[in-house]
């Protein structure tokens, strides 16, 4: 049965557990839910009923019957406001939409600059990883709209949890890039800048630590991608 919108919500799985459960729970309104697992770290038996696991990102366009595709990372959640905005966007005329992100950090909401395409008609969408290991949908369409609400990135409960999540995220993104046959590149290392340039809240230690982790995450993604290509004889 269709949900509130003809939308397949695809979440890039990395570590699984509570983070993935929150991300999937935030898009329970979608007509379909898919977990993309290029690194092979997610046990399909742990997923909620009707949530499918997809190993190859190249199969994403053919793995759904929904007209629209919404893309999330494992540490992101779709708020009720975003859910309503997505439903409205799918009937407003554009074929793809940018969705900005906000980082919840020690009780402060940091509004990250930029807005990657995260909602697109399935027949035009393709997975893409940009600078700073930012996940997006590349859509070859002339008209791209923007959803007013934001995806929310949840803060890790501890530094240890943040580092563990960083490694899992980097492994998933590197596996995704390798599956998409993308080569490592130095231009993709600018990961700290969006956190430092985010609006809202002071430039305190929390933001600096988040910025350092974001920059390190982008570096680890490229390092893991180099390793994967070397092991594959590329």
Cα–Cα dist 44/16, whole Å: 10
Quote the pLDDT of residue 61: 72
Tell me which of 56-60, 112-116, 160-164 is least confident: 56-60
The whole-chain average pLDDT of the chain stands at 81
Quote the pLDDT of residue 62: 75
Query: For residues 26 and 170, which has the higher predicted lDDT (pLDDT)?
Result: 26
Q: What is the pLDDT of residues 194-230, one digit of tens each?
A: 655 566 665 565 666 666 667 767 788 778 888 877 7
Structure tokens at 118: 């995260």
Residue with tokens 């009923």: 49
Residue in 35, 7, 38, 4 with CA at minimum distance from that of residue 21: 35
Cα–Cα dist 44/47, whole Å: 5
Query: For residues 113 and 41, which has the higher predicted lDDT (pLDDT)?
Result: 41
Cα–Cα dist 14/166, whole Å: 9
What pairs with residue 9 in β-bridges?
33, 70
Residue with tokens 């919500």: 9
Q: Report which secondary-structure segment, H or E, holds 147.
A: strand 144-153
Query: For residues 219 and 150, which has the higher predicted lDDT (pLDDT)?
Result: 150
Quote the pLDDT of residue 212: 67
Q: Look at residue 168 and tell me whether its pLDDT is greater than 90.
A: no
Q: Look at residue 187 and tell me whether its pLDDT is greater than 60.
A: no
Q: Look at residue 50 and tell me whether its pLDDT is greater than 80.
A: yes
| Domain limits, the chain | 5-153, 159-231
Query: For residues 73 and 63, which has the higher predicted lDDT (pLDDT)?
Result: 73
Query: For residues 227 and 22, which has the higher predicted lDDT (pLDDT)?
Result: 22
Quote the pLDDT of residue 2: 40
Quote the pLDDT of residue 186: 62
Q: How would residue 78 be classed by pLDDT, with cut points 50, 70 and 90?
A: very high
CATH code assigned to 5-153: 3.90.550.10
Q: How far is CA 56 from the centre of its chain?
A: 16
Quote the pLDDT of residue 3: 44
Distances in Å between the Cα of 195 and the Cα atoms of 40, 46, 152, 200, 212 are: 29, 32, 13, 11, 9
Q: 23: which residues sit within 8 A by CB, 6+ positions away?
A: 11, 72, 73, 74, 75, 76, 77
Q: What is the pLDDT of residues 83-139, one digit of tens each?
A: 999 999 998 888 899 999 888 877 778 888 788 899 999 888 888 776 656 778 876
Cα–Cα dist 145/25, whole Å: 26
pTM assigned to the model: 0.84
């Amino acid at each position: 049965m269709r949900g509130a919108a003809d939308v397949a919500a695809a979440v890039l799985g990395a570590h699984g557990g509570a983070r993935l459960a929150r991300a999937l729970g935030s898009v329970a309104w979608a007509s379909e839910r898919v977990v993309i697992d290029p690194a092979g770290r997610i046990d399909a038996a742990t997923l909620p009923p009707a949530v499918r696991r997809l190993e190859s990102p190249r199969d994403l366009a053919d793995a759904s019957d929904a007209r629209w595709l919404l893309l999330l990372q494992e540490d992101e959640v779709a708020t009720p406001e975003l859910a309503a905005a997505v439903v409205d966007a799918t009937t407003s005329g554009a074929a793809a939409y940018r969705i900005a992100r906000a980082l919840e950090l020690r009780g402060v909401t940091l509004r990250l600059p930029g807005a990657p395409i995260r909602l697109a008609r399935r027949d035009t969408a393709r997975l893409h990883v940009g600078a700073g290991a930012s996940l997006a949908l590349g859509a070859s369409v002339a008209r791209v709209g923007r959803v007013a609400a934001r995806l929310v990135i949840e803060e890790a409960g501890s530094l240890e949890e943040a580092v563990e999540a960083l490694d899992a995220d980097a492994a998933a993104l590197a596996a995704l890039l390798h599956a998409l046959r993308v080569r490592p590149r130095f231009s993709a290392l600018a990961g700290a800048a969006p956190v430092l340039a985010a609006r809202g809240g002071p430039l305190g230690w929390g933001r600096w630590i988040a910025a350092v982790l974001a920059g390190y995450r982008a570096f680890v993604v490229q390092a893991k991608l180099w390793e994967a290509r070397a092991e594959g004889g590329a």
